[in-house]
Chains A and B, each alone.
Chain A
Amino acid sequence: MQDIALSLLLFTPLLVAFVVLFLPSTAATAFRYLTLAVNFLQVIILLIILRAYDPALALQFVEQQPWITLDLGSWGVLKAEYFLGLDGLSLPLVILSVFVMLIATISSWKIAKNVKGYFALLLILNAAIIGSFTALDFLLFYLFFEFMLLPMFFLIALWGGPKREYASIKFFLYTLLGSIFILIVMIGLYTSVHDPSVTGKLVHSFNVLHMSNATNFISNSILDPNNVWQIGWYTARQWGFLLLFVGFAIKLPMVPFHTWLPDAHVEAPTPISVILAALLLKIGGYGLLRIAFPIFPDSAVYFGWFVGLMGVISILYGGLNAMASKDLKRLIAYSSVSHMGFVLLGVASLTSEGVAGSVYQMFSHGIISAMLFLLAGVIYDRTGNRMIGNYSGLSTKMPGFTVFVLVAFFASMGLPGFSGFIAEIMVFLGAFKSNSINGPLHESLAIVATLGLLIGATYYLWTLQRMFFGPYNLKGNLSGAHMPDVNQREYSMLLPLAFVALFFGIYPQPMITIIDPFAKHFAEFVLSAGKSLMLNP
């Protein structure tokens, strides 16, 4: 079981998607239950994985099979592998994915238009997300990374709101541009890296672990850390890092590459918004932690301050934009930009606290943003309108809903007792400590970033005040709308999310135990390898 657990997690949705394609499109209920069954099966597999997972070991559940082996004569052998594994970085994100995909399926229950296509795409997306978080071969990762685009494009473009066509194309073009940057570096990396386990023959490897080891670079290749090429202002390695950084920052998204996100969120149907915010954004952060930083530690140290600065700018700028938003979903989308800024800040600190905080933030933001978008969806389902100004005094009519909103807003604000607090406090600690251990960040960045908390509190409390308190009133042409409280199906999604957000705020230890070994190793490795490569090029 252990040696195929990840493959099962990955291929079950693909297989079922294939089955769905061949069922008659009238069997709408069957598609829903099949998808739900896949989600539950994934939960079971995940529980088995969690039982056997040992946080003390580095990489586990490894599956390594040859995939493409191509002898190119004098040029060497091209080797890509089917290489999956779990460690302290990928496990929290896989847990998140399985959980959020289950919630998304429940949230999709009411989709009535072209049900067959919808659930087939949802299943493909599911597999692609799990694949991205577990692949350790660059080509395999890239395959899953790109494979997410097309389903997501159609999910937004076919089931989205009025401006869905514009939003979906924008999403696709931005992400594809980012992935092209990643592709350039991928080509450079695999031509520069050889597989050390094969002797006597030159084997070009896509293995991310090989790429993360400076001794595996072919001497005098363009990205060889010992003999660096200069291209324009920077060395080839620095360009490589910057391209990867931009590629993943578009996905994250980081200011100024974030403009696709509000559009995509506003137009996407609720379950797709949930997946987009909770999972797709995380692939940006995951890519930085898995690929950009470990492969180019020297450039990571060199540009660390820049990454941290961009993180702080995202925190503040995203927050200010959220404050100015009139559309509830747009507000949540900008708050996502702000919160993902913490991920950048934590990673850039290169301290174990900061890195652990980043991973924790990705997990926590996944839970909280899923909840926030579901809540926005609850209102939208009832009135078809999301403008904050059109509502007031909702608490009198919808008390249950208001409780969930309070939980979600406070959690997202980073109030103690919720998972967001733990994550952000660790990021601040890391950013503050960075300078003292010769990390790249100055203390002032951490201080400025705390302003983000203030901005966050402002826009959330203001929204609460405007929408939920005061006399009950619906403006615009909504005045006659019927506003029933949260129903059973909505409870079944919101309760678990609220519970998880609270649980990991009060008792973070289980998650920390998983993340910590990775964070420690990552911070030490990147800092020491980066420094030594910078000193002796």
Chain B
Amino acid sequence: MTDLKEKLELIGMSLSFFIPELVLTSGILLVVFLGLIKREKDSLLTLVSILIFASSFLSIALNWEAYATPNRLFGGLVRSDDFSAYLKLLFDIAAILSAIMTWRKTNNQLHLSEYYALMMAIVLGAHILVMSTNLIMVFVSLELISISSYMLAGFSFSKRGAEGSLKYFVFGSVASAIMLYGFTLLYGFTGTLDFSSVEFVQQLLGKNSIAFFIAALMAIAGFLYKIAAAPMHPWSPDVYEAAPMPVIAFLSVVPKLAGVGILTKFILAINSFGQSTVDWQFLLCLISILSLTIGNFAALWQKNPKRLMAYSSIAQSGFLLVGIASFQQQGVHFMLFYASIYLLMNFLVFSYLQYFESFGLTTLASFSGAGRKFPWASILVLVGFVALTGLPPTAGFTAKLFVFTSLWEAYQVTGKEILLWLLIFGLINTVVSLFYYLRIPYYAFIKSGESSEKANNLTVENFIGLTIVLCLLLLFFNPGLLMGWINKINFVL
């Protein structure tokens, strides 16, 4: 009986670190319940959801010290630490921004209660995924994200939406199956499910490297699917094209960053401090080079802004992976900085794409003359694209400078040529990316359209856009504001 009592105490202690997740869980129930008694298109649902995400955010931010100290919870299934806490803050911000975007999407707001419940489920899954240290927990939380995102992707309730959603589901379930098979093999090799434990690493060192390589590769493939990194990327353009804009913005940030978070932890574990017989650094560099090149070059031919942003997000995954590929503490910090900036840039661009979409601008060519009609919106979205390209004076440049610095440092330490190639490919790709990132501004400012009557400049989008642009500029001129905080994060396996 004392055993049970101890366990209950442990669970009670663990639950006290689980408040954000508990908030989200009760949020799901609350939103579903509200959906039963309220009319469909009620902005009360949006308000409640924003409040729930905000309280999840605040419960972490206000108790930063408590969440930032490493704590093994629920008997070692998850661990709360500052790395995961920081990512969780990013998820919550992304969810709030998506909810605001949904609120601004005045047409086609259907089944809002289910919509927000699914969104919360994804955020919840992402929260748990980045905390997981146990392979079972990884799988469960990843599936929570996946299944909810399959449904969310189809929320435009059109034939295309259903097609995109189904494609996402079919590819996704195969990826999950492969990943799960990899997990079972790893469990067989090591006898433990806790990949952050010493036994896991020790057991791996003596094992047959080929079998271990295949097992770990299978597991990584599942993460890459979530990140939409090459070669697991082909689903994303179709899904992005069919899904509603707030959903794309949300999916391009939350599952991606969650995947990057768990990949960071997992690959550092199997790398075994460089003692692994397999060169994981090489593999990660290769994936990164592939994602950058495929994403950027494929984006060049796109005529639809949503597909363009899908390929852009594949390329951006490559840049996120650059930070991890250095296999250094500093690189992980720089990756977190990049992730934060990526969140801002992406939401800036997507919220404007939605704004333009509401005026019927759905192909690149239709943006002709938009610079005249929507001067402020066009200028602000231009800053977003400039930041995505990585030009000064935006924080997009600082983020790229940082991740490539970590790469250079890693090259200096290891002398591996692949790191140099990644550096060269990454930077050359910046030039390629300019070509398509500037296409919307190009049509907007340089091609002339038929009408030149001006739209109202005082919109919510412009207010949010201006705020994000100011953040991007501020973080260029003073990156220390954010980086100083990220640097205090002590990444442990």
A: which residues have CB within 8 A of B? 67-75, 142-143, 146-147, 149-150, 154, 157-158, 165, 169, 172-173, 176-177, 180, 183-184, 187-188, 190-191, 221-222, 229, 231
Interface: B13 (CB within 8 A): no
Q: A68 and B480: CB pair below 8 A? A: yes
A222–B413 alpha-carbon span in the complex (Å): 9
Instruction: Contacts A187-B408, A222-B411 given; indicate if A68 touches B478 (C-beta within 8 A).
Output: yes
Contact (Cβ within 8 A) B405 A187: yes
Whether B420 lies near A143 (C-beta < 8 A) is: no
Identify B420's interface contact among A146, A157, A177, A231, CB under 8 A: A231
User: How many angstroms between the C-alpha atoms of A75 and B483 in the bound complex?
Assistant: 14
Known A68-B477, A158-B445; 4 more pairs at CB < 8 Å = A149-B391, A176-B430, A177-B431, A191-B405
Residues of chain B within 8 A (CB-CB) of A165 are 442, 446
| Chain B contact residues: helix, strand, loop or mixed | helix
Task: Say whether B423 faces chain A, with CB atoms less than 8 Å apart.
Answer: yes
Docked CA distance A68–B395 (Å): 13
Which residues of A sit under 8 angstroms from B417, Cβ to Cβ?
A: 231
Query: Do the beta carbons of B483 and A73 come within 8 Å of each other?
Result: no
A72 pairs with B445, CB closer than 8 A: no
Jot down 26 A-B pairs with beta carbons below 8 A, ordered by A. Answer: A68-B480, A69-B480, A70-B484, A71-B487, A72-B330, A72-B487, A74-B330, A75-B330, A142-B392, A147-B393, A154-B445, A154-B446, A157-B446, A158-B446, A169-B435, A172-B438, A176-B434, A180-B428, A180-B431, A183-B404, A183-B427, A184-B427, A191-B408, A222-B408, A229-B415, A231-B420
CB atoms of B393 and A187 under 8 A apart:
no
Q: Which one of A146, A157, A222 lies within 8 Å of B412 (CB-CB)?
A: A222
Chain A nearest CB from B376 CB (Å) reads: 10
Residue contact B412 to A173, C-beta cutoff 8 Å: no
CB distance from A221 to the nearest CB of B (A): 6
B449 at the A interface (CB under 8 A) = no
| B424 lies within 8 A of chain A by Cβ | yes
Residue of A71, A173, A184, A231 with most chain B CB atoms under a 10 A cut-off = A184
Chain A residue at minimum C-beta to C-beta distance from B389: A176
Say whether B234 faces chain A, with CB atoms less than 8 Å apart. no
A70, B427: Cβ atoms under 8 Å? Answer: no
Residue numbers in B under 8 Å from A154 (CB-CB)? 445-446
A172 to B427, CA, bound (A): 15
Query: Chain A residues with Cβ under 8 A from B427's Cβ?
Result: 180, 183-184
Mark each residue of chain B from 380 to 418: 1 if its CB lies under 8 Å from any CB of chain A, else 0: 000000100001110001000100110011011001010
Is residue B479 contacting chain A, with contact meaning CB distance below 8 A? yes
A68–B430 CA distance with the chains assembled, in angstroms: 24
Closest B residue to A156 by beta carbon equals B446
Residue of B nearest to A174 (CB): B431
User: Are A191's CB and B480's CB within 8 A?
Assistant: no
- How far apart are A536's CB and chain B's nearest CB, in angstroms? 22
Chain B residues positioned under 8 Å from A149 (CB to CB): 391
Chain A nearest Cβ from B6, distance in angstroms? 38
- In chain B, positions 436-493 with a C-beta closer than 8 Å to chain A are 438, 442, 445-446, 477-480, 483-484, 487
Across the interface, name the chain A residue whose C-beta is closest to B333.
A72
Q: Is the interface of A mostly helix, strand, loop or mixed?
A: helix
For the complex formed, measure the closest distance between the CB of A125 and the CB atoms of chain B, giving whole angstroms. 14
- Partner-A contacts on B (CB < 8 A): 329-330, 333, 386, 391-393, 397, 401, 404-405, 408-409, 411-412, 415, 417, 420, 423-424, 427-428, 430-431, 434-435, 438, 442, 445-446, 477-480, 483-484, 487
Q: Which residues of A contact B329 (CB under 8 A)?
A: 73-74
CB pair B446–A180 under 8 Å, yes or no, is: no
Q: How far is the CB of B200 from chain A (nearest CB, A)?
A: 26
CB distance from B133 to the nearest CB of A (A): 24
B434: A residues at CB distance < 8 A = 172-173, 176
CB neighbours of B415 from chain A (8 A): 229
Nearest CB to that of B379 among chain A residues? A21
Whether B391 pairs with A184 at a CB distance below 8 angstroms is: no
Determine the distance from Cα of A172 to Cα of B423 in the docked complex, in whole angstroms: 21
A146, B411: Cβ atoms closer than 8 Å:
no
Contact A176 B423, CB 8 Å, known A70-B480, A71-B487, A75-B409:
no
A191 touches B412 (CB 8 A): yes
Shortest CB-to-CB span from A175 to chain B, Å, is 10
Beyond A165-B446, A173-B435, A180-B427, whether A147 also contacts B420 by CB under 8 A is no
Q: When chains A and B are docked, how far (Å) is the Cα of A416 from the Cα of B372?
A: 52
Q: Which residue of A lies closest to B405 (CB)?
A: A187
A250 CB to nearest B CB, Å: 12
Known: A165-B446, A187-B404. A146 touches B428 (CB 8 A): no
Q: Are A70 and B483 in contact (CB under 8 A)?
A: yes
Complex: chain A residue closest to B404, CB-CB: A187
Q: B335 CB to closest chain A CB, in angstroms?
A: 14
- How far apart are the CA atoms of A177 and B445 in the complex, in Å? 23
Known: A154-B445, A184-B424, A221-B412. A68 touches B479 (CB 8 A): yes
* A150 vs B392: C-alpha distance when bound (angstroms): 10
User: Which residues of chain A have C-beta atoms less than 8 A from B423's C-beta?
Assistant: 184, 187
Contact A70 B479 (CB under 8 A): yes
Q: Which residues of B contact A143 (CB under 8 A)?
A: 392-393
What residue in chain A is nearest B330 (Cβ atoms)?
Answer: A75
Q: Which 5 A-B pairs have the closest CB atoms?
A: A180-B427, A143-B392, A75-B330, A157-B446, A177-B431
- Quote the shortest CB–CB distance from A509 to chain B (angstroms): 40
Q: Tell whether, in the assembled complex, residue A71 and residue B392 are in contact, meaning their CB atoms are under 8 Å apart.
A: no
CB distance B479 to A176 under 8 Å? no
B330:A73 contact, CB within 8 angstroms: yes
Q: Tell me which of A67, A69, A169, A180 has the highest count of chain B C-beta atoms within 10 A of its own C-beta.
A: A180
Which residue of chain A lies nearest to B393 when distances are taken between CB atoms in the complex? A143
When the two chains form their complex, are residues B386 and A150 in contact, meaning their CB atoms are under 8 A apart? Answer: yes
A183 to B411, CA, bound (A): 16
Cross-chain contact B484 with A71 (CB below 8 angstroms): yes
- Within 8 Å CB of A75, what residues of B? 330, 409
Q: In the assembly, what is the distance between CA of A173 and CA of B429, in Å? A: 12
Q: Report Cα–Cα, A325/B477, bound state, in Å.
A: 46
Out of A69, A146, A191, A231, name the residue touching B409 (CB < 8 Å): A191
Q: A183 to B438, alpha carbons, bound, how many Å? A: 20
Task: Tell me, in angstroms, the Cα distance from A75 to B333 when the chains sit together.
Answer: 12
What is the bound-complex CA distance between A73 and B445, given in angstroms?
44
Smallest beta-carbon distance A303→chain B, Å: 20
Q: In the bound complex, what is the Cα–Cα distance between A530 and B484 (angstroms)?
A: 39
Report the separation of the CA atoms of residues A191 and B424 in the bound assembly, to the nearest whole angstrom: 17
Q: Which residues of A contact B405 (CB under 8 A)?
A: 187, 190-191
A250 vs B442: C-alpha distance when bound (angstroms) = 24
Within the assembled complex, what's the spacing in Å between the Cα atoms of A180 and B487?
Answer: 27
Query: Chain B's nearest CB lies how many Å from the CB of A147?
Result: 7
Inside 8 A of A183's CB, which chain B residues have their CB? 401, 404, 427
CB distance from B388 to the nearest CB of A (A): 14
A187 to B330, CA, bound (A): 15
Q: CB-nearest residue of chain B relative to A69?
A: B480
Q: Separation in Å of the B297 CB from the closest CB of chain A? A: 14
Minimal beta-carbon separation of B296 from chain A (angstroms): 13
User: Nearest Cβ distance between residue A425 and chain B, in whole angstroms?
Assistant: 40
Q: Which residues of A contact B430 (CB under 8 A)?
A: 176, 180
Determine if B392 and A146 form an interchain contact, defined as CB atoms under 8 angstroms apart: yes
Inter-chain CA distance A177–B427, complex, in Å, is 9
A176 with B392, Cβ < 8 A, contacts A71-B487, A158-B446, A184-B424 known: no
In the complex formed, the residue of A with least CB distance to B334 is A72
A190: B residues at CB distance < 8 A: 405
In Å, the complex CA distance between A146 and B401 comes to 14
Residues of A within 8 A of B480 (CB): 68-70
The docked-state distance in angstroms from the alpha carbon of A180 to that of B427 is 6
What's the minimum C-beta distance from B175 to chain A, rounded to whole angstroms? 34
- Cα–Cα distance between A221 and B446 once the two chains are bound (Å): 46
State in angstroms the CA–CA spacing of A149 and B330 once bound together: 31
Q: Which residues of A contact B330 (CB under 8 A)?
A: 72-75
